[in-house]
Structure 1
């Protein structure tokens, strides 16, 4: 009997591609578009593996992780996000996730991160030759301080010593890759 794999993400294109890839690899795939739908599906048929998107319509995927962990302590949970930062990585791991990957990630990377048994040769994580750029470091620091202030923009701006509007403009931009 194939292992159940739960994909929790509000992006229909991403979920369609990932579900197809996991089905080809022999998993019984279930897709949920939000936290409430994911809870219902997980309680109906507990999965062995799960990917959870961080930012979705409604509650964050972080709200789902403790419920999945309580349902099955052996379940492997991976947080996927297009808004990766050190602060959100720490929060995901504290909430009970086994691993964390920035999007885009392919099916093989996801399975490796989940520690699933795949027939590919696994290689060590690539360590970049160059350090993060100043812009990326700034993004990481802002995310950390924002997390410490529970998403409060005004308190974060005060802590960073910048104008609230400047912080809002920085947050409206997509994260810097490197």
Structure 2
């Protein structure tokens, strides 16, 4: 991290980087956070995250799990955490899975929220620094589709989000993997 001053939650200015490829959702989040006194930046993919980090020092980030063209937000989490290990990062997704939640936390996210999540949920996630012991336990069995999806994401993370290598390790054709990733519409 550069030597520039980094705002904290106690400072008057908090800077949030929203990593989201859905323009409408990004605009809604921007307006909501700006009304609460945040300075808001936007990125749509890993390249634009790196461009923002070259000139900005966000204190917080909200990262969508699935970005355009099948790109994973986990690569953005990894880059953000490498840039500033103290940055509060929250991952949002429309299709929560155990594998992606674990990977997000291992890569530096503070919390992982299933969509829809509102500004209150996100700010509460930023504030969390400890785990909770009273999380609701479910008795629902995991479906085969969910297990497959978790295995795909685990392998994606292991390969550094390389689609071809992931397909090879899973023993499937690259196009089949690409179709599965697109079909799930993970947001």
RMSD in angstroms over aligned alpha carbons? 3.0
CA spacing shift, 1:148–1:77, aligned 2, 3 Å: closer
Residue 5 of structure 1: aligned partner = 16
Match for residue 80 of structure 1 among 83, 88, 92: 92
Residue 140 in 1 paired to residue 152 in 2? Answer: no
Query: Which protein, 1 or 2, shows the higher relative CO under an 8 Å CA cutoff with sep ≥ 6?
Result: 2
Per-residue deviation, 1:6 = 0.6
Per-residue deviation, 1:26 = 0.9
Residue 127 of structure 1: aligned partner = 136
Residue 22 in 1 paired to residue 33 in 2? Answer: yes
How many residue pairs get aligned? The number is: 158
Q: Structure 1: state its 5+ residue gaps.
A: 117-123, 159-164
Q: Structure 2: state its 5+ residue gaps.
A: 1-11, 157-162
* Residue correspondence of structure 1 range 54-73 to structure 2 within 5 A: 54-58=65-69, 59-73=71-85
Residue 36 of structure 1: aligned partner = 47
Match for residue 108 of structure 2 among 96, 103, 108: 96
